């Protein structure tokens, strides 16, 4: 185990991507705070990390989609000066189209995937900035770039996560803070069942194991990469995509109507 280098907060940490992220960060010397709804599974994960890595582990059972519980967590975490890493992993989805999905479910998806992620980041960044160091890791999805691949609002929430991360990258420049956005493709986790989707309908060659995904993500964490796409075989494709986006930026606003719209 490496010497302690601060505390990492991981949401959605009872199983899957979050649990493996927490374990990987503990192996790198971080104490960890685990956040999820299921207290029993959360504490089992916490004990496993304590036993394997000898770091301090605290579990906080909280429903981040509940405004009161989110506010309480924000207050508690903002008061902890040891926090150096925030991993915003908690998320949820739904199988249906916009019209097929109950409005309450849509609200819950936005509350967890967008609002909770943004609010926890807002709660922790001031302290990180004051201390001159901190890292935010946001779990998005390849759907951030291709939301039409699935129904409903899930892909749109992940597009927010990518855009938010890009904005934070600009805001953090020169501050000692950094942000990373992980964009998994299809990954074998419990997410599918909770979203009401049968992962068996997805071609096997498209589905990455959660162990492989997080192993790649942690290598990228060590390298301090901004955008992480573990399934993308040709990194030049992302570089071309980002290059095209950057080329658009200086041309997006002008006083002149584009010739194609001129009367």
Lookup: tokens for 89: 């992993």
Strand order from edge to edge, sheet including 7-11:
57-61, 31-36, 7-11, 83-88, 134-139, 177-182, 227-228
- Give kind and range of the element (H or E) at residue 35: strand 31-36
- Which burial class, exposed, middle or buried, applies to 140 when counting CB atoms under 10 A from its CB (0-12, 13-18, 19+)? buried
Active site residue 21: no
- Give the distance between the most distant pair of CA atoms in the chain: 72
Helices 67-78 and 117-131 pack at an angle, to 10 degrees, of 10
Structure-block tokens of residue 185: 């493709």
Q: What is the CA radius of gyration of the chain?
A: 19
Q: What angle do CA 235, 113, 70 make, to 5 degrees?
A: 135
Q: Give the C-alpha distances (Å, rounded to integers) separating 83 from 123, 158, 261.
A: 11, 25, 52
Q: Which of 21, 154, 241, 261 is catalytic?
A: 154
- What would the two tokens of residue 155 be? 């892909």
CA distance 142 to 128: 28
Catalytic residue positions, numbered: 154
């Amino acid at each position: 185990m490496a010497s302690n280098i601060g505390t990492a907060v991981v949401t959605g940490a009872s199983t899957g991507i979050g649990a493996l992220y927490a374990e990987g960060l503990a192996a790198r010397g971080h104490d960890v705070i685990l956040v999820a709804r299921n207290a029993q599974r959360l504490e089992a994960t916490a004990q496993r990390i304590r036993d394997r890595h000898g770091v301090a582990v605290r579990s906080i059972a909280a429903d981040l989609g509940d405004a009161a519980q989110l506010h309480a967590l924000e207050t508690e975490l903002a008061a902890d000066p040891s926090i150096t890493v925030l991993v915003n992993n908690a998320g949820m989805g739904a199988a249906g189209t916009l019209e097929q999905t109950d409005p309450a479910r849509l609200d819950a998806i936005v509350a967890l995937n967008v609002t909770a992620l943004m609010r926890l980041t807002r709660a922790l960044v001031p302290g990180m900035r004051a201390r001159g160091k901190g890292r935010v890791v946001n779990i998005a999805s390849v759907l951030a770039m291709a939301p039409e691949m699935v129904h409903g609002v899930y892909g749109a929430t992940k597009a927010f996560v990518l855009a938010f991360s890009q904005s934070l990258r600009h805001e953090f420049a020169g501050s000692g803070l950094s942000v990373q956005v992980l964009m998994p493709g299809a990954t074998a986790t419990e997410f599918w069942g909770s979203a009401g989707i049968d992962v068996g309908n997805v071609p096997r060659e498209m589905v990455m194991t959660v162990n492989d995904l997080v192993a790649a993500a942690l290598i990228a964490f060590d390298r301090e990469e901004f955008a992480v796409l573990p399934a993308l075989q040709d990194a030049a494709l992302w570089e071309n995509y980002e290059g095209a986006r950057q080329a658009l930026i200086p041309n997006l606003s002008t006083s002149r109507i584009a010739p194609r719209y001129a009367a």
